Amino acid sequence: MTTPLRLGIAGLGTVGVGVVRIVQTHRALLAARCGRPVEITAVSARSRGRNRGVDISGYAWEDDPVALARRDDVDLVVELMGGEDGPALALTRAAIDAGKDIVTANKALLAIHGQEIAEAAESAGVALRFEAAVAGGIPVIKALTEGLAGNAITRVMGVMNGTCNYILTRMEDAGLPYDTVFDEAAQLGYLEADPTLDVGGIDAAHKLTLLAAIAFGTRPVFDAVDIEGIERISIDDIRHAADLGLRIKLLGVARMTGRGLEQSMSPCLVPADSPLGQLKGGTNMVVLEGDSVGQIVLRGAGAGEGPTASAVMGDVADIARGLRIPAFGQAAAGLATVTPARATAAKPFYLRMTLLDRPGALARIAAALGDAGVSIDRMRQYSHEGTDAPVIIVTHKTTRDAIDHALGLFGGTGVLVGDPVALAIESV
């Protein structure tokens, strides 16, 4: 009989339970597709007695995940605990030292320590796979490392946090303000324990870090990503965008330029009739552009038990079949050191501001834009009551640096009420 691939699972939360469920439900299917049985021999989690809805009584239990990695009856460690340091990092290092292959869904761990871990895994001759760390059930890492290996990737772009997409589309569909939808998302369990990871763009930036490293052959450096969350997006922004035929998305964009690697995760406007503009709810979408293939759009569930566990098992199946490729698509030691670059590609911008309702106020703002080298394409002043006047400006194509210069000049006009909002309008 063919030797089974024996799994040790660390972390029995939503995704861990999903992996157990797939292994138990699809034994014959996995054996046929992998050419060998896949079985679970040991598990580790914080609470042994918790009812998880799956039977784990037949598996050895380890309170210490490091001990799980060192077991003789474990060939492959599945790390599903989360966290960039602590037990997840200790487990991963222990697994490599013990010569065990690793499958993880931990984007934070890899965005921060990915270079170290990948080099150590390759030196030890063990596999490191992380399909489930990015975009849930969408096989985007496999697409980049395998299907598009013959392409020079020109741009990676996408919606990579389902919670943010849910909040933004719910605001539009229901006409609800941000705070109301945020509270609703929290009650539904959509937000991380630290909500800033979601709405602050950090979770999605972890994912963009990994995709950019694979796409452009660079070392993953999370600190090189320009990050802005969705906390300042108002229902007025949602409505104004709709009036302009646009929708707001938390959008990750990475491209390599002659100046270095541009990586940003920020709210942007996209055409409402584009694939990204039509993306609703908690769904993710990643757009890959290569010099030979052109544009590829991948869409699917970005989180949840089934989709993420599906991605984990895709990696497990590859290792069971004997497919072993470098974690980032090429030898980790050969990945280039990142030279961070600010985005310089010219694009239109949406500006939303509130001005004092006095003669010449709008002229002062227009003059400030002119002094910064920014020209106006469209401008709207909405009806209002009182002394504050809401104004929307859409610029012609310009750079982020020019916009930031203009925003700095606005402060000296004496007519601005509060802080303006500036969002790039991305072509798709």
For 296, left (φ over 0), alpha (ψ -120 to 50), or beta? beta
Q: Which two tokens stand for residue 259?
A: 């100046």
Count CB neighbours of 2 within 10 A: 10
d(CA 416, CA 65) in angstroms, rounded, equals 55
Q: At what angle do helices 305-321 and 14-25 cross, to 10 degrees?
A: 60
Question: Per the residue annotation, which of 100, 107, 142, 207 is the catalytic one?
Answer: 207
d(CA 97, CA 325) in angstroms, rounded, equals 19
Buried b (16+ CB within 10 A) or exposed e, 87-116: bbbebbbbbbebebbbbbbbbbbbbbbbbe
Q: How far is CA 375 from the centre of its chain?
A: 33
Is residue 230 within 8 Å of residue 168, measured between CB atoms? yes
Instruction: Clarify whether 207 is annotated catalytic.
Output: yes
176 phi, psi to nearest 5 deg = -100, 150
Q: What is the arrangement of strands in the sheet containing 5-10, beginning at the earlier edge strand?
A: 60-61, 38-44, 5-10, 76-79, 101-104, 128-129
168-177: long-range contacts, CB 8 A cutoff, minimum separation 24: 168/230, 168/233, 168/238, 168/247, 168/248, 168/249, 168/250, 169/279, 169/280, 169/281, 171/233, 171/235, 171/238, 172/238, 172/242, 172/247, 175/235, 176/235, 177/234, 177/235
| The residue type at 379 | M
Q: How far is CA 180 from the centre of its chain?
A: 24
Q: How far is CA 49 from the centre of its chain?
A: 33
Q: How many residues does the chain have?
A: 428
Catalytic center residues: 207
